[in-house]
Structure 1
Amino acid sequence: MLKKVPLFVVLVLGLSFSLKAQKKVKVYNLETYGVLPDNGQNTAPLLQEALKKIKSEIVNTEPVVIKFKKGRYDFHPDGALKREYYISNHDQDNPKTVGIELETLKNVTIDGNGSELMFHGRMLPIALIGNSNVSLKDLRIDFEKPQITQVKIVENDTVAGSIVFETAPWVSYTIKDSTFYSTGEGWEMHPIAGMAFEKTTKRIVYNSGDIAVGTRNVSELAPGLIKAHHWKNSKLIPGTVVTMRSYYRPTPGIFVHKGKDIGFENVKVHYAEGMGLLAQLTENIYLDGFEVALRGKDDPRYFTTQADATHFSACKGEIVSKNGLYEGMMDDAINIHGTYLKIMEKIDSKTVVAKYMHGQAYGFDWGYKGDAVQFVKSKTMELWDHQNTIVSIEPVRSDKNEPIKEFKIQFKKKLGNEIDPANFDIGIENLTWTASVIFTGNTIRNNRARGALFSTPKPTLIANNLFDHTSGCAILLCGDANGWYETGSCRDVTIRDNKFVNALTSMYQFTSAVISIYPEIPDLQGQTKYFHSGIRIENNEFETFDNPILYAKSVDGLIFKNNEINTNNEYPAFHSNKQTILFERVQNAEVSDNKVDGEKAALHN
Structure 2
Amino acid sequence: MQVLNKGTPVNYKESCIIRIQPVDGDNISSLRDALRCIPDDQSCTLILEHGDYHFYSDHATELFCFVSNNSEGLKRIAVPLIGIHDLTIDGQGSRLIFHGRVCPFLIRNCTGITLKNFSVDYVRPFVSQGTIQAVDTEAVTVRMDTENPYYFDGGRIWFSGDCYHQQGCQNGKLFKRDSFLHCLEFDTHKRETAYGVQDHYKMPASGVSEIEEGLIRLATSYPTPLPQIDNTLVISHDHRDCFGVCIDESSEVTIEGVDIYHTGAMAFIAQRSDTISLLSCTVAPHPNNGRMVSSFADASHFVNCRGLIRIIGCRFENMLDDPVNVHGIYSPVCRIIDKHTIEVMNGHHEQAGIPVADRGAEIRFVDQNSLLPIAHGMVKRVESINRFTWRVEFVNALPSVIRTGDCIESLQWVPDVEIRDCVFGKNRARGPLISTAGSVKIEGNHFHHAGSAIKISGDCNDWFESGAVKDVLIRNNIFDNCGYGKWGTGIIAIDPEIRPSHLGHNAYHQNISLIENEFRTFHQELIFARSVDGLIIQGNRIEKTRDYPEKETTFEGLKTEACLHVQSDLPSC
Query: Which 5+ residue runs of structure 1 have no aligned equivalent?
Result: 1-23, 398-402, 593-601
Given the alignment of the two structures, is residue 558 of structure 1 paired with residue 535 of structure 2, yes or no?
yes
- Note if contact 1:458-1:492 (Cα within 8 Å) is conserved in structure 2: yes
Aligned positions of 1:173-322 closer than 5 A: 173-176=150-153, 179-184=156-161, 185=163, 186=165, 187=173, 192-211=181-200, 216-228=206-218, 235-246=226-237, 248-296=239-287, 298-322=288-312
- Which of 475, 479, 490 is 1:500 aligned to? 479
How far apart, in 1, do the equivalents of 2:225 and 2:471 lie?
Answer: 45
How far apart, in 2, do the equivalents of 1:205 and 1:146 lie?
Answer: 21
Cα distance, 1:168 vs. partner? Answer: 1.3
Given the alignment of the two structures, is residue 349 of structure 1 paired with residue 313 of structure 2, yes or no?
no
Q: Match for residue 400 of structure 1?
A: none
- Which of 129, 136, 147 is 1:158 aligned to? 136
Q: Match for residue 86 of structure 2?
A: 107
Helix, strand or coil at the partner of 2:567:
strand
Change over 3 Å in CA distance of 1:365–1:252 after alignment to 2: same
How far apart, in 1, do the equivalents of 2:311 and 2:92 lie?
Answer: 21
Cα distance, 1:358 vs. partner? Answer: 0.9
Q: Which moved more, 1:263-272 or 1:41-50?
A: 41-50
AA paired with 1:527? G
How far apart, in 2, do the equivalents of 1:332 and 1:236 lie?
Answer: 23
Q: Match for residue 117 of structure 1?
A: 96
- Note if contact 1:216-1:228 (Cα within 8 Å) is conserved in structure 2: no
Q: Which moved more, 1:210-219 or 1:256-265?
A: 210-219
- Note if contact 1:193-1:211 (Cα within 8 Å) is conserved in structure 2: yes
Q: Match for residue 359 of structure 1?
A: 349
- Which of 37, 62, 70 is 2:50 aligned to? 70
Cα distance, 1:231 vs. partner? Answer: 6.2
Percentage of matched positions with identical amino acids: 25
- Which of 503, 519, 522 is 1:542 aligned to? 519
How far apart, in 1, do the equivalents of 2:367 and 2:123 lie?
Answer: 47
Q: Match for residue 508 of structure 2?
A: 531
AA paired with 2:136? T
Change over 3 Å in CA distance of 1:247–1:487 after alignment to 2: farther
- Which of 125, 129, 149 is 2:108 aligned to? 129
Change over 3 Å in CA distance of 1:25–1:448 after alignment to 2: farther
Change over 3 Å in CA distance of 1:220–1:355 after alignment to 2: closer
Cα distance, 1:209 vs. partner? Answer: 1.8
Given the alignment of the two structures, is residue 387 of structure 1 paired with residue 366 of structure 2, yes or no?
no
Q: Match for residue 46 of structure 1?
A: 30
Helix, strand or coil at the partner of 2:160:
strand
How far apart, in 2, do the equivalents of 1:76 and 1:106 lie?
Answer: 26
Aligned positions, number: 546
For normalisation by structure 1, the TM-score amounts to 0.86
AA paired with 2:193? I
Cα distance, 1:99 vs. partner? Answer: 1.1
How far apart, in 2, do the equivalents of 1:321 and 1:330 lie?
Answer: 19
- Note if contact 2:505-2:562 (Cα within 8 Å) is conserved in structure 1: no
How far apart, in 1, do the equivalents of 2:50 and 2:382 lie?
Answer: 47
Given the alignment of the two structures, is residue 484 of structure 1 paired with residue 463 of structure 2, yes or no?
yes
Q: Match for residue 567 of structure 1?
A: 544
- Note if contact 2:135-2:229 (Cα within 8 Å) is conserved in structure 1: no
Change over 3 Å in CA distance of 1:234–1:497 after alignment to 2: closer
How far apart, in 1, do the equivalents of 2:349 and 2:389 lie?
Answer: 13
Q: Match for residue 323 of structure 2?
A: 333
How far apart, in 2, do the equivalents of 1:65 and 1:129 lie?
Answer: 18
AA paired with 1:169? T
How far apart, in 2, do the equivalents of 1:340 and 1:480 lie?
Answer: 8
- Note if contact 1:513-1:548 (Cα within 8 Å) is conserved in structure 2: yes
How far apart, in 1, do the equivalents of 2:356 and 2:136 lie?
Answer: 51
- Note if contact 2:525-2:553 (Cα within 8 Å) is conserved in structure 1: no
Helix, strand or coil at the partner of 1:604:
coil
How far apart, in 1, do the equivalents of 2:282 and 2:512 lie?
Answer: 28
Query: Which 5+ residue runs of structure 2 have no aligned equivalent?
Result: 1-13, 166-172
Helix, strand or coil at the partner of 1:108:
strand
AA paired with 1:406? T
Given the alignment of the two structures, is residue 583 of structure 1 paired with residue 560 of structure 2, yes or no?
yes
AA paired with 2:98? F
AA paired with 2:283? V
- Note if contact 1:214-1:231 (Cα within 8 Å) is conserved in structure 2: no
How far apart, in 2, do the equivalents of 1:279 and 1:520 lie?
Answer: 24
- Note if contact 1:546-1:572 (Cα within 8 Å) is conserved in structure 2: no
How far apart, in 2, do the equivalents of 1:99 and 1:572 lie?
Answer: 46
Cα distance, 1:75 vs. partner? Answer: 1.2
Q: Match for residue 59 of structure 2?
A: 79
AA paired with 1:239? D
Q: Match for residue 599 of structure 1?
A: none
Q: Match for residue 597 of structure 1?
A: none
AA paired with 2:549? P
Change over 3 Å in CA distance of 1:51–1:417 after alignment to 2: same
Cα distance, 1:290 vs. partner? Answer: 1.6
Change over 3 Å in CA distance of 1:129–1:222 after alignment to 2: same
For normalisation by structure 2, the TM-score amounts to 0.91
AA paired with 1:367? A
> CA offsets, 1:457-508, max 9 Å, x none?
010111111002x111110001111111111100110111110111111113
Change over 3 Å in CA distance of 1:230–1:529 after alignment to 2: closer
Given the alignment of the two structures, is residue 465 of structure 1 paired with residue 445 of structure 2, yes or no?
yes
Change over 3 Å in CA distance of 1:25–1:539 after alignment to 2: farther
Cα distance, 1:204 vs. partner? Answer: 1.3
AA paired with 2:396? K
